[in-house]
Structure 1
Amino acid sequence: MTAYSFFHRVLMAAITLFGVAVIVFVLLRVVPGDPIAMMISPGASEADIAALRAQYGLDQSLPVQFWIWLTSVLSGDFGTSISLRRDVLELLAERLPATLELAAAALVFAVVLGIVIAVTATLLSRTKLSPLVDTLNGLFLAVPDFVWALALVLIFGVLLPVFPLSGRINPDSQEGFATQFYLLESLLTLRFRDLADISLHMIMPVLALGLPLASIITKVLKEALAEAMVQDYILLARLKGMSRLRLVLQEALRNAIGPTIALTGVQFTFLIGGTVIVERIFAYPGIGNMAIDAVINRDLPLIQGLVLVFGALFILVNLATDALVVAFNPRMEA
């Protein structure tokens, strides 16, 4: 990736994030409802209400409100949550690691499972099992993540209660962590008991988020492998006596992985968005779960901070995806 291309993408990312901030800021203030009304007590006076509105800058005009908020954000001040009465940046710093670990675990699971199934399906393409693989993958593809979450709760939380239904870790173990990246920290510090506990809490959310993505990866990669297997270089390798497994893994997979990476990056952004519902179902303490509470309470500063975080994550994932695609296939460089 050239310096010009990198600068252009970063510039477009900044413009996109600014546009998201403007749209969300305006929409949150034109919808019906007053967030201050949810904070005041029944006996509050007009002076108390006016003071509270002034504290959150809601007594200014819309352009002035946006300018005050934008300059504050650029200086690292995301405001104070109306419902939780805490600094928004602190809340995001507490909850974001949980969502990042959950999304990363779901992505790793989906990529590994998708590649394994796609390669297996390619190896079985001339057998009677091939239609069965396609049928099962189509079934998994049709089921959204929240349906998987509800099904997993019913099966492994109620009928066969083998996994924890909610939370991220046993509350007794939570105090011993120096960071909010519990999974990574427990792995690096060799705290295997905590690692096992965290993994058990993550299994059902990871399955719910990863299974639909794994189905998409399987479908795209299987089609790319099928196209690669009829190319001349594959025929030449076959004439040299190379086995079918080696043909798929060593020759075809290397050339078919590019489109899969691009699609996986796009789908990963949707996976991060999907954590909102899945985290709610499993009471997982991430930014997705917090986003629902913020919307219910019409917590404007917290919603704005959450939207900026989601927008920044989407942009960073897309930039990383573009870099990976170019790394695997330099001819894709614009």
Structure 2
Amino acid sequence: MVATRARSGSLRAYVLGRLAFAPVFLFLLLTLLFLLLRVMPGDPVAAALGDRVSAEQLDARREAAGINDPILVQYGRYMGGVLQGDLGTPVTDPRSVSRIVIDRFPATFELTMFAMLLAVGIGVLAGAVGARFRDGPLDVGGRLFAILIYAAPVFWLGILAQLLFANRWGLLPTGNRMSARISYEAPTGFYLLDGFLTRDWTFLWTAFQHLLMPGLTLGLVISGVFIRMVRVNMLQTLRSDYVEAAHARGIGGRRVLFRHAFKNALVPVVTIMGLQFALLLGGAILTETTFSWPGLGTALVGFINRRDYVAVQGIVTFFAIMVVSVSLLIDIINGLLDPRVRY
């Protein structure tokens, strides 16, 4: 009973500590983002609008955006807006950044989650098989694939996939999220989920076809990290004493691999998943641009090209909140899987 209470208390303290630390880290991250955008040379409003408006209109836009206020006032307004869910109003778009995030985030989330599931599936399977047959053809092939696929630029793989699967073989669409020939209803904005909810199987299949090529491209690039991580940790786990004891008791190799070694080898991989999420969002920006995917990445690139730094600040702020939230979730999952990280 005492041991059980100690374990639960330790887990509770660990979770509360992570919950208390996450806002501090987010505060520092948002402060750094605010300062980096403010030290950039030039007037962001003039850079976004250029010669398209008069001098009086430029002054009015600066006043509306708060550019003329002292930097501490701007900082306080920015942090207060983040706390209230207000990410600002772009200079070149009548919608608020929060509205743009609501409209565009489902597309980015679908692409990111599909790529993450694919990367983890390929990485766990190839890494475990490589560890089981160390230095064999499967292991060497898996390691070579991991190195080459992770080194390949995601936009280059995307263009190559478009040339092969879309232009030459005609198997998949070249880009976009949905065919213009299909009329559809998307109440949630998550097309795969909407296809199930509305029972529109043609819409669901078309949405999956459009998702497949960008999701595969992004997922394959990230899978290289998981292949190497799973293989290394599986090899270390397979040399541990309890695995040797399981072999000594006559337990089969496959059962030892997946029932005894796999769980402990997966703990560091869960940590890497949180770190890779930030890279996945960065890769999603390039992937969305390559495949004309209407997500937050495409919107961010458009605002950067228009030099609308107010919108860039809002979207990057949302990405920062997402990364911190996912990192917090990964820390909690690690605490549940491995009691050693709680101390």
TM-score by length of 1: 0.92
Counterpart amino acid of residue 279 in structure 2 = F
CA RMSD of aligned residues (A): 2.1
Any residues of structure 2 matched to 1:1-334 within 5 Å, and which? 2-37=11-46, 38-39=48-49, 42=52, 44=54, 46-125=55-134, 127-173=136-182, 175-334=184-343
Counterpart amino acid of residue 82 in structure 1 = V
Q: Secondary structure at the match of 2:42?
A: coil
Contact 2:130 2:140 in 1 (8 A): no
Paired-residue identity, %: 28
**Which has the larger displacement, 221-230 or 25-34?**
25-34
Counterpart amino acid of residue 155 in structure 2 = F
Deviation at 1:82, TM superposition (A): 1.0
Give unpaired runs (5+ residues) of structure 2: 1-9
Deviation at 1:256, TM superposition (A): 0.9
Contact 2:145 2:224 in 1 (8 A): no
> Aligned equivalents of 1:109 and 1:36: distance in 2?
41
Output one character per residue of 1:283-311: Cα deviation in whole Å (capped at 9) or x when no partner.
11111111111112122321121111111
**Residues 146 and 88 of structure 1: is their aligned pair in 2 closer, same or farther, counting only changes over 3 Å?**
same
Contact 2:14 2:335 in 1 (8 A): no
> Aligned equivalents of 1:118 and 1:190: distance in 2?
37
> Aligned equivalents of 2:174 and 2:81: distance in 1?
39
Q: Secondary structure at the match of 1:130?
A: helix
> Aligned equivalents of 2:218 and 2:328: distance in 1?
22
**Which has the larger displacement, 226-235 or 108-117?**
226-235
Deviation at 1:140, TM superposition (A): 2.0
Deviation at 1:193, TM superposition (A): 1.8
> Aligned equivalents of 1:175 and 1:244: distance in 2?
50
Counterpart amino acid of residue 17 in structure 2 = H
> Aligned equivalents of 1:299 and 1:244: distance in 2?
58
How many residue pairs get matched? 333
Output one character per residue of 1:11-58: Cα deviation in whole Å (capped at 9) or x when no partner.
3222222222222223223323333333365562x3332222212222
Q: Secondary structure at the match of 1:167?
A: coil
**Which has the larger displacement, 218-227 or 235-244?**
235-244
Output one character per residue of 1:181-224: Cα deviation in whole Å (capped at 9) or x when no partner.
22222234433222211111111211121112212111111111
> Aligned equivalents of 1:42 and 1:288: distance in 2?
26
TM-score by length of 2: 0.89
**Which has the larger displacement, 276-285 or 221-230?**
221-230
Contact 1:163 1:204 in 2 (8 A): yes
> Aligned equivalents of 1:137 and 1:195: distance in 2?
32
Output one character per residue of 1:220-256: Cα deviation in whole Å (capped at 9) or x when no partner.
1111111222222222222333221112111111221
Equivalent position of 2:4 in the other structure: none
Output one character per residue of 1:59-85: Cα deviation in whole Å (capped at 9) or x when no partner.
222222222233233233322211112
Q: Secondary structure at the match of 2:247?
A: helix
**Which has the larger displacement, 86-95 or 188-197?**
188-197
> Aligned equivalents of 1:42 and 1:310: distance in 2?
31
Give unpaired runs (5+ residues) of structure 1: none
> Aligned equivalents of 2:53 and 2:169: distance in 1?
51
